Amino acid sequence: MDPFSVMANSILAVFSVMQLGLIPIMAEGETTVFGAVGEQVILPCIDKSHSDGVTWKYNDLVVIQHQMHLSRGKTPLFSRSELNKQEMSKGNFSLILSQLEHSDAGKYICVVGSRTFKVQLQVFEVTGSPSGYLLQAENLMLSIQGSSSANVTWSNNYKDKVTATQSRELKNGGRSLQIHNLQAEDSGTWRCHITSLSAKLDIPYKVLVIGFHNLNQTLYKAVNSTVSFSYSLSTHLLQIRELEYVRGGLEWKQMINNTYVEKFNFNVTSKGLLLPEQMANMQVTWKPSNHLEVKLPRVQFKDAGWYQCQFTVSRGRVEKAIHLVVMTVTADPVGPLSKSANVTLLCKLSAPIPPNAQLFWEHVNGTEKKLNMLGHSEVEVKTKTVGLWRCSLKVENNMMTSIDYTVGRETTTTSSIQRPMLSLSVSLSMSVSPILSLLSPQ
């Protein structure tokens, strides 16, 4: 479609909206219109006197006019102003200004025949500091530039009105919004709402945060199970043109006060993830540009700890640590129990459990149950009850993990020494009888 057709359709659409009352109908006098830097705006001029000529002026200079033919004045608006001849025949002499600049603000005059209409254009812009992409935990200041007489409010990327909180600070009478400690969930389109008695405008601002989702994460796994660590970024890295390089790695530490030790490192390229040959028995999957998954098969108690994934870009580094808590069980003595003997079953976790958690042994299909003491990361039960026992961990009444242990009893067997003796006695009686009969008197 050619540019004139696009412009014509734009004016037709705007004219229809004006008829619906969504934009104030132009009345002789002065109308206020809001516009955003870089965008397009319609300056309304409606006259039903069937005049076929119009002149638009700005600061007493002709911007554009149509008197039998179209002509433009020598102003900065020369290549950014347009009329629609098709709509002019219907009395719509509205002026379209494209690629608005701050300097376009001011008073415009529309002259149709003997009538004069005035339009006050106010131009606004939302700026962000710092600009461009942002990193998790950074701060962002959004500010509105333009007339100070308008009322300003803000909405977040979930379309909720922003009010002053610990992480959201309104400044300069609401004309500036300070977003503290940015998170991955803050990525998206924020909006500035500008209103007055006669005009309104919404300006979107795209916030792009590189960060991880679900930061505070703990995984509970039983010994010998497979654990999967999922690190999901809020942004597709390869879609950010400013990124010169992306490096990353997985680190591990066993105790919270320890120093991280590198498990492996990698580079992110347009072709995918470049990994080293040695992967420490880990399986790595990289899903297009924003999701890393690491699997550790047959996890052992010694594998517990914090697994931190980090991405480093030219502006800094973002990271996420997942706490792996491992459960194990032991029995003393091990194996089948002798008659009347007890067994001590111990279930323990690699880290203290939270206050809202329960660690307990229970006899499956039975009534016996033993809970851990508050704050303890292990639970012990002494029993002679045979059958299936299960150690379980619940957090906020949700089952996290469990391990089964079967208690058995030694079986009693008949002594095999009696049978040979019995067989022997029978065979002796058979062999001695003939001799006795020969010795007896006739």
Res. 79: pLDDT tops 90: yes
At 413 the pLDDT is 57
Is residue 162 within 8 A of residue 154, CB to CB? The reply is yes
Domain 3-123, CATH: 2.60.40.10
How far apart, in Å, do the first and last CA atoms of the chain sit? Answer: 142
d(CA 60, CA 79): 18
∠ Cα 255 259 261 (to 5°): 100
- Pair of tokens at residue 209: 């945060």
Query: Given a cut of 50, is residue 38 above it in pLDDT?
Result: yes
Kindly write down the DSSP assignment for every residue of 268-334, as one continuous string.
Answer: EETTEEE--S--TT-EEEEETTTEEEEEESS--GGG-EEEEEEEEETTEEEEEEEEEEEEEEEEES-
Q: Which residues contact 204 (CB under 8 A, 6 or more apart)?
A: 189, 190, 191
pLDDT above 50 (res 431): no
Segments making up each domain of the chain, as ranges: 3-123, 130-209, 217-325, 333-407
Candidates 107, 6, 112; CA nearest to 53 is: 112
> Quick check: do 3-123 and 217-325 share a fold?
yes
146 vs 432: which has the higher pLDDT: 146
| Gap between the Cα atoms of 13 and 20, Å rounded | 11
Q: Kindly tell me the sign of the dihedral angle through the C-alpha atoms of 62, 64, 69, 74.
A: positive
The sign of the dihedral angle between the CA atoms of 83, 87, 88, 92 is: negative
Q: What is the DSSP secondary-structure string of 123-148?
A: EEEEEEES-S-EETT--EEEEEES-S
Dist. CA 296–CA 284, nearest whole Å: 9
Topology, domain 333-407: Immunoglobulin-like (2.60.40)
- Average pLDDT (141-167) is 94
For 396, the enclosing helix (H) or strand (E) is none
- Asked if residue 9 has pLDDT above 90, the reply is no
Residue pair 310/304 in contact (Cβ under 8 Å)? The answer is: no
Report the predicted TM-score, pTM, of the whole model to 2 decimal places: 0.76
Tell me the C-alpha distance between 297 and 113, whole Å.
Answer: 83
Give the pLDDT band (50/70/90) at residue 52.
confident
Give phi and psi for 2, each to the nearest 5: -75, 160
Share of the chain above pLDDT 90, in %: 64
Rounded average pLDDT over 74-82: 93
Name the least confident of 16-30, 114-128, 257-271, 400-414: 16-30
State the DSSP code for 209.
Answer: E
Do residues 369 and 361 lie in contact, with contact meaning Cβ atoms separated by under 8 Å? yes
Higher pLDDT residue, 104 or 286? Answer: 104
Say if residue 336 is preceded by a cis peptide, omega within 30 of 0.
Answer: no
Average pLDDT over the chain, rounded to an integer: 85
With 80 as the cut, is the pLDDT of residue 419 above it?
Answer: no
CA distance 303 to 125: 53
In this predicted structure, the answer to whether residue 441 has a pLDDT above a threshold of 60 is no
CATH fold group of domain 217-325: Immunoglobulin-like (2.60.40)
What CA–CA distances, in Å, run from 60 to 75, 178, 186?
A: 11, 41, 46
Class of domain 130-209: mainly beta
In this structure, what token pair is assigned to residue 81? 């102003």
